Structure 1
Amino acid sequence: MMSRPLSRVMLSVAILGTIACSQSQAADQAAPFQDVVGTFMQSHCVRCHGPESQEGDFRVDTLSKDVGGGTTVNRWLEVIEKINSGEMPPEDEPERPTAEQGAKVVEWLAARIEEGRSARLAKRQPVSFHRLSRSEYANTVEDLLGVRYGVADPGGLNEDAEYHGFERIGTVLSLSASHIEKYYNAAEQILDEAYPEKPIETTIVRKRALDLRGGPSREQIEELEAQGLADKVRVDMWPGHHIQGGRPGPGNDMLKNGGFFKVRIQVSGMKPPGGRAPHLTFYADKIDRLLFEQDILAPEDKPEIVEFTCHLPPSANSFELTNDVPGPSNLPRSGRSGNRPFFSLKEGRIPWQIKLTDEEGVPLYPFLIVDWVEWEGPIITDEVAGKRARYMPADGAKPDEIRECLTRFCEDAFRRPVTAAEVDRYMTIANEELAAGAKTQPAMKTAMLGVLCSKDFLFLVEGNLEQPTDTLDDFEIANRLAYMLWSTMPDEELLKLAHEGKLHDKQVLKEQFDRMLADPRAARFSQDFPRQWLQLHKLGMFPPNKDLYPNYDPHLERSMRGETSAFFQEVLDQNLSLREFLDSDWTMVNPRLAMHYEMPGIEADRFQRVPLSDEVHRGGLLTQAAILSLTSDGTRHRPVHRGVWVMESIFGKSPPPPPANVDPIEPNPVDSPKATIRMKLEAHKHDANCAACHRKIDPLGLAFDNFDAIGRWRTEEVVPNGTGSNPKVDASGVLPDGREFAGPAEFRQLLLANVDDFNDTFLKKLATYSLRRTMTVDDRQSLEAIAAQSRDTDYRVRDLVEAFVLSDLFQKR
């Protein structure tokens, strides 16, 4: 729009409305809207953003002239940004304004926005309610009562509504009648498990191979036992082989109350040279939950014992133990050697069956040998038992003892001190139950049910009607910090500091930040924040077509998601720069993902940091398979979707929705030359309604055309229909500011040149996640101050997160 863009310093001065600016520009700021802004808009903006044309779905002539107090303040902020960047009007505008003319409009608009700040803040409600997300609810219940409720199980809690990937936005997480019913049922189940009618004893049940295998008759089993061979029988598991139903699980009596259980499996795993390792999965069918998975590499004569802990609801469960890798089907020719028991690979096979090993005993397929499965539980630790006992009075307890227990439960559940009147509400419930003849424990459970269904448990409540304030109290700070870093309630130490009123002390807050990041629960921050910021919920939304992508499987999808979380964790733990998210010479892979990336030599089944060579063509977040797959549709890559993702996640800009009735990109006709999606997108640029946005979006997505729909590198685009050979990939492009790139490597370098913009975006995403609300123009001053601190520390991520936690913004509603 202008001969040169305004500097970031000029924009900051304009937005902040400093005293010096106010004094020097007093006359201009006092000028009426029409003289300063209206004439400018009419001359340079209305032709493309007025009643006859609204490029990018943006219209300026209808914006409120009450710039700072009207409903379009955020739209006016966009106008400021477009003028400041020199993006509008575009270069081809015949009469472009000078820098001074643009600056005058920007300063006038910024002053009006600043003037309206107090009025906008005054409109905020004195109390804010932020409902716990499903995962936060599950974590909080577990910390409170030692019960892991399956919020995503069938019949669990409703899915959380999301806003641009975020599941924690208070204004989005509404509460309906169906929510209330779900919470009530959940609370009943949680309390029944925590306080069963009869004591539950921990038992151990082992299923030996004969119990798991099936096949041998009772007579054969008795014969094996008589020969002392029964315990030497093993289960041979070909690729894809399932052990299903009740065989790998205990009887229903053991699970009737639910709880935590330890599962141990003695197993060997043989990997063919250059092939995949056998992959053990343990799945609970009825609740549709993967309980455990791991590659197994252990010699036949040196099996290993794998152990995991899972929580199961109180119901009849069935399980599935699987060697979850592709390979020969489990049919007679490739399956077991008749009905005879299996003892060892060394025994050989029936002549007409497929061999398991070559002549030297080297495995030909990924193969598992299972010896036994052992269950232990329900497991109740001393810590959990003690916590539950604090809340439950003994039978025949006096009213004062009941009230004391109920007060403790209310304080812990509400995560703050409670008043006598609040406890009275739940004591009334307990007393009514006792008066009706109930014993102490059932009466107490009914009162506790009311607590778990109350707004003070289900919501994070910030503010006070009686004493309105924009600043959090110590307990609200404790909750905000705990749910940011741990996605659960504050622990005893954090609440103790809140009781002492010390959390407004920046040094104390820093010490707590360091302590909490060192806690294992902080891993949730590295999982939940990038998952929501990067919109990883879209991964797997459109499962890849099996005919086109036969090697894609659930294990690969989970590995894709795991790379991104592990990458974020490494950047945070090592306090690396934000630049690593844009481009890096390393990533985090496990064996399954390494195979997908064609990176040999990765054996240990864990995410590990590996260097990246130029031949791998990867680096940073944007070339990770999860990101490339979530922006595809299961059949083909989607450059426009990838471009929109980059705009939103890296630059913090949300493009307007496409105009109605835009023709979709059709498949290539069988009688036409093969054409890439890029070629087909060119047609959209001839439509004026599309061109304005596509020239900003398309280059950001086309930069990654060398990656297919599941993130594999390619130099040709496979076009199933049409004549001729597959066309070569063209990943070059030109950014709206005129900078050119020839492929993803050069594009990533251009992103690094815009690290300040990414710094701003990352900070806004972090603040949105942590404060549980969208950022507004009134947060801009605080965000700019934190962003400046980040620049001073070379954009190091842990330092940035710490600066945010210690900022005034973190302590404000």
Structure 2
Amino acid sequence: MRRVILLPVVMTVIAAGYAEAGDDFAQSVQPFLAKNCYACHNTKLQSGDLNLEKYTDAAALTQDRDNWEAVLQKLQTGEMPPNGFPRPDPAALKSITAWIESEFQQSDSRVKPDPGRVTARRLNRAEYNNTIRDLLGVDFHPADDFPQDDSGYGFDNIGDVLSISPVLMEKYLSAAEKAVQTAIFGTGPIKPTVVRHQPPYRHGTDGGDNNRFAEQMPFTITNYDVTGLSLPSALHTTHRFPASGEYVFRIDPEGNRPRPSDPFTVAVWIDGQQVASVDFEASNSSTSMEGEDKEVRARVKAGDHWVAVSALRLYEGLPPQYKGLKPTLKPVPPPVDRSKFIKPPPNPTPQQLADHKARLIEFRARQQRPPSITDVSFRVNFVGITGPFDATEGASPESLKKVFVCGHLNGKHEASCVRRIVTELAGKAYRRPAQPQEVGRLLALIAGDRKRGGSFAQSLATGLEAMLVSPQFLFRIERDPKAEQGNARHPISDYELASRLSYFLWSSMPDEELMRFARSKTLRSPEVLSAQVRRMLADPKAHALVENFGGQWLETRGLESVRPDINRFGKFDDYLRMSLRQETELFFENLIQQDRPILDFLNAKYTFLNQALAQHYGITGVSGPEFRRVDLTGTPRAGVLTQGSVLTVSSYSTRTSVVLRGKWVLENLLNAPVPPPPPDVPALDEAATGTSMSLREQMEKHRANPVCASCHSRMDPLGFGLENFDAIGQWRTLDGKFPIDASGSLPDGKSFSGPTELVDVLMQHRDAFAECLTEKMLTYSLGRGLERYDRPAVKSIAAQLARDNYRFSSLVMGIVNSLPFQERRGDRASNVHHP
């Protein structure tokens, strides 16, 4: 009865609200549109398929929301009215955009909140590897052999695109067997193998390889890296060590050393740490060290590791009469004319011929040096890695502890323990308590294998392998509490909340502490939830958030596939590639650990560098391979936008791209994606860029096409602001023979010159950045694309983030406490079988 009485009152209030909004529309919005928009977007022209004249009241905003959201976005960014039309009065523009946003908020408040529905999704490759590691304690990556995960909305954990193919199912069966066998029985006997690694310039005999060696071998720079890691002579590679144990490194060097020099040391590095070394010395009869290969031994843990071989203090211990290259002098070129090795590629373009001619001239000019000077040179011909020797064959204590939960180790297992083993492991694997029928099926498999003569351990392995190919393990399944509720919204269970937390922050299964709070149904308590999030962010496993979220948001995962043109960017090698990636990861990790403001992504005047990367950036005072925090005050670098990793992945292999860089800023920092280019867009004249025409002149010619102008007016200015950085992130003032013009003007009228002023402009859009990062991270945390009904949650999280001084923890807690993260909409007709 009370509802019946209140209904007319509620309807009267809503009607009054619509009437008031209608008055605002007629008195304020329509006059603004008439003055600034109707000239193009009218009934007759309908430019961009948009007719604004047809809207006569506020109800239009909710009835045609997509169009009005586009209108709001273009007004806020200054894209509309377009160039050549008078700019709207700033006060009127601010008033109109605020009114539209207010109407959207009121409309959203009248709609019943919707947390959305998340598709049951399989573990992606990173999640599978991490879950196997934490479940069984095995140190290998079976999912590395799986097919590549598909991506959606910028991430590879989106349920709607993660399908299972027959090939993947076969991989699951093989991975389950290998993981369980390793956990229970160990790796078994491992026969030592030999793998030979060569530097890039040794892979073949074509002119390009010789060219690289000729250009790089004898060169260094003032204040050279005494570790030798950043010198072109060092070898860098990634090697998969199949098991923990001792490995032999056979080093074959080549080069010259003047007599009588002190011996010098060649070091082997694993993941940036020196693990072994051996001395070489030139004989009295020859200065050549060719053919003097030597071996060293080092213990290495199983897994993929970065391996490097370098000469330590190469330019020290030289005889007094040596007058060649020294660290305190400018680099000295090679004494031998190696221009004969520099050959143009087959069917060269005009630009390649010009580059070839320039190299020949440069090499001949380098020969102007006294004939009495003897060179110091060094390179690694190859390194052979043999092993493992004395590898541990049995299961690791950690794996045995995780599997045999009753403590029956070293073969003293009891059959009565099998139910507890299966129950506990299945509960961890399924991320919830295993149901009796699930445990029963696994026990039946084990019992059947025992009847056929299998040992206790082998029969147990059969059951556990079946557990690892169950949909309950392979998929993250969230259950509806009651089927009759259809698609009604409901809170997810504490176990599902624990799973969402762990795969969001760790890309792995919940640990025992999370599961304990889930069992007691206290995980959702604000105090408990806040403490758990802080604990999880402080855990080393949170590096997964850096790798998997950060690597995809910032697109730095693509760094592994980038291949800058060797003739133009000969300094780019695997060591620099790894250093660039590590800089960005350390920056993100520090931001998490120190709970820094997310605005550091835009304007932080610090970063993390080693000597090689500091030299690449032209920053002095950094020595050695260790990364450390470096102050960027007085340099043009700030935030992630000027880090070499981002600048490299947003460039082409031969040159920078104002389009790619501008698009990167719009999509990843300002949440303003651009549509794909129209078909048959003419490409730039690569041969002309930097020779007969500057890149800016080429782009202005390109923008003259009206079809291209609308998007390029947004992208290009942002990209031009970064033009002082070349395609691998080095600072420059010239593009070919043309001075760099790094100025730009955005559609909203804001202008800038160079990266420093560009960062200042981006900081004026900090709220747009906060919403952008919120949307990206919420998408990643949910494993689904965001819909319109998620907008209130995004707005609320971003607003609280601003009130909390943009602290990273505020962003994470805002997501974790949000409606989409804590609840879900049920499946109206679920096709997921629940045992």
TM-score (norm 1): 0.73
- 2:514 aligned residue: 494
1:543 and 1:206 mapped to 2: Cα distance?
Answer: 28
2:126 counterpart of 1:135: yes
TM-superposed deviation, 1:200: 5.1
Any residues of structure 2 matched to 1:36-47 within 5 Å, and which? 44=37, 47=40
TM-superposed deviation, 1:24: 5.0
Q: Give the match's secondary structure for 1:661.
A: coil
| 1:789/1:635 CA distance change after superposition, 3 Å | same
Aligned match of 2:717 in 687, 699, 724? 699
Q: Give the match's secondary structure for 1:692.
A: helix
- 2:391 aligned residue: 377
Aligned match of 1:625 in 627, 644, 652? 644
Any residues of structure 2 matched to 1:466-485 within 5 Å, and which? 466=482, 469-485=489-505
2:789 and 2:269 mapped to 1: Cα distance?
Answer: 50
CA contact (8 A) 2:246 2:299 kept: yes
Segment of structure 1 superposing worse, 374-383 or 471-480: 374-383
Q: Give the match's secondary structure for 1:617.
A: coil
TM-superposed deviation, 1:654: 1.2
TM-superposed deviation, 1:362: 13
TM-superposed deviation, 1:574: 2.2
TM-superposed deviation, 1:730: 0.4
Q: Give the match's secondary structure for 1:708.
A: coil
- In structure 1, what residue type is equivalent to 2:404? A
2:768 counterpart of 1:757: yes
Higher relative contact order (CA 8 A, sep 6+): 2
Q: Give the match's secondary structure for 2:637.
A: coil
2:79 and 2:793 mapped to 1: Cα distance?
Answer: 26
2:189 and 2:688 mapped to 1: Cα distance?
Answer: 68
| 1:561/1:397 CA distance change after superposition, 3 Å | closer
TM-superposed deviation, 1:296: 7.6
1:593 and 1:324 mapped to 2: Cα distance?
Answer: 17
TM-superposed deviation, 1:556: 0.6
- 1:520 aligned residue: 540
1:49 and 1:415 mapped to 2: Cα distance?
Answer: 57
Segment of structure 1 superposing worse, 784-793 or 377-386: 377-386
- 1:717 aligned residue: 735
Q: Give the match's secondary structure for 1:773.
A: coil
| 1:738/1:320 CA distance change after superposition, 3 Å | closer
Any residues of structure 2 matched to 1:256-295 within 5 Å, and which? 259-261=243-245, 280=268, 292=271, 294=273
- 1:768 aligned residue: 779
Q: Give the match's secondary structure for 2:677.
A: coil
CA contact (8 A) 1:131 1:170 kept: yes
| 1:512/1:438 CA distance change after superposition, 3 Å | same
CA contact (8 A) 2:495 2:515 kept: yes
- In structure 1, what residue type is equivalent to 2:806? Y
2:641 counterpart of 1:649: no
- 2:424 aligned residue: 408
- 2:479 aligned residue: 463
| 1:295/1:113 CA distance change after superposition, 3 Å | same
Any residues of structure 2 matched to 1:321-360 within 5 Å, and which? 323=309
CA contact (8 A) 2:605 2:632 kept: yes
TM-superposed deviation, 1:429: 3.1
TM-superposed deviation, 1:103: 6.8
Q: Give the match's secondary structure for 1:144.
A: helix
| 1:776/1:240 CA distance change after superposition, 3 Å | same
- In structure 2, what residue type is equivalent to 1:737? D
CA contact (8 A) 1:733 1:742 kept: yes
- 1:801 aligned residue: 812
Aligned match of 2:70 in 74, 78, 85? 78
Q: Give the match's secondary structure for 1:175.
A: coil
- 2:177 aligned residue: 188
Aligned match of 2:684 in 648, 657, 665? 665
- 2:441 aligned residue: 425
TM-superposed deviation, 1:116: 5.2
1:49 and 1:554 mapped to 2: Cα distance?
Answer: 57
Q: How many residues align?
A: 691
1:19 and 1:90 mapped to 2: Cα distance?
Answer: 41
1:271 and 1:583 mapped to 2: Cα distance?
Answer: 47
CA contact (8 A) 2:266 2:311 kept: yes
CA contact (8 A) 1:135 1:151 kept: no
Q: Give the match's secondary structure for 1:557.
A: helix
| 1:363/1:293 CA distance change after superposition, 3 Å | farther
Quote the RMSD (CA, aligned, Å): 5.0
CA contact (8 A) 1:239 1:326 kept: no
| 1:400/1:305 CA distance change after superposition, 3 Å | closer
| 1:652/1:388 CA distance change after superposition, 3 Å | same
TM-superposed deviation, 1:260: 4.3
TM-superposed deviation, 1:650: 0.7
| 1:605/1:450 CA distance change after superposition, 3 Å | same
2:306 and 2:814 mapped to 1: Cα distance?
Answer: 47
CA contact (8 A) 2:72 2:97 kept: no
- 1:221 aligned residue: none
| CA deviation vs aligned residue, 1:249-302 (integer Å, no higher than 9, x gap) | 9xxxxx9xx6544669899999999xx9967467xxxxxxxxx4556897959x
| 1:294/1:555 CA distance change after superposition, 3 Å | farther
- 1:553 aligned residue: 573
Aligned match of 2:17 in 9, 21, 25? 25
- In structure 1, what residue type is equivalent to 2:405? R
- In structure 2, what residue type is equivalent to 1:150? H
CA contact (8 A) 1:263 1:376 kept: no
| 1:59/1:167 CA distance change after superposition, 3 Å | farther
Q: Give the match's secondary structure for 2:473.
A: helix
1:790 and 1:167 mapped to 2: Cα distance?
Answer: 26
TM-superposed deviation, 1:742: 1.2
2:707 counterpart of 1:689: yes
| 1:741/1:688 CA distance change after superposition, 3 Å | same
1:93 and 1:206 mapped to 2: Cα distance?
Answer: 70
TM-superposed deviation, 1:411: 0.6
Any residues of structure 2 matched to 1:108-123 within 5 Å, and which? 112=107, 115=110
1:109 and 1:571 mapped to 2: Cα distance?
Answer: 34
| CA deviation vs aligned residue, 1:653-687 (integer Å, no higher than 9, x gap) | 211111111111122349x9621222111122222
1:501 and 1:74 mapped to 2: Cα distance?
Answer: 41
CA contact (8 A) 2:183 2:396 kept: no
2:443 and 2:404 mapped to 1: Cα distance?
Answer: 18
Q: Give the match's secondary structure for 1:737.
A: coil
| CA deviation vs aligned residue, 1:151-206 (integer Å, no higher than 9, x gap) | 464xx11111123532222222222222212211211221222233x995899999
- 2:335 aligned residue: none
CA contact (8 A) 2:495 2:518 kept: yes
| 1:542/1:397 CA distance change after superposition, 3 Å | closer
| CA deviation vs aligned residue, 1:615-641 (integer Å, no higher than 9, x gap) | x42121111000000001111111100
CA contact (8 A) 1:482 1:489 kept: yes
Percent of residue pairs bearing the same amino acid type: 29
TM-superposed deviation, 1:575: 2.3
2:379 counterpart of 1:387: no
Give the gaps of 5 or more residues in structure 1.
1-17, 208-235, 250-254, 283-291, 313-318, 329-358, 719-725
1:559 and 1:277 mapped to 2: Cα distance?
Answer: 23
TM-superposed deviation, 1:548: 0.9
2:606 counterpart of 1:586: yes
| CA deviation vs aligned residue, 1:100-158 (integer Å, no higher than 9, x gap) | 7777766666655555555x66xx55x631322211111110111122343464xx111
| 1:199/1:787 CA distance change after superposition, 3 Å | closer
TM-superposed deviation, 1:49: 9.9
- In structure 2, what residue type is equivalent to 1:698? D
TM-superposed deviation, 1:441: 3.4
| 1:572/1:278 CA distance change after superposition, 3 Å | farther
Q: Give the match's secondary structure for 1:470.
A: strand
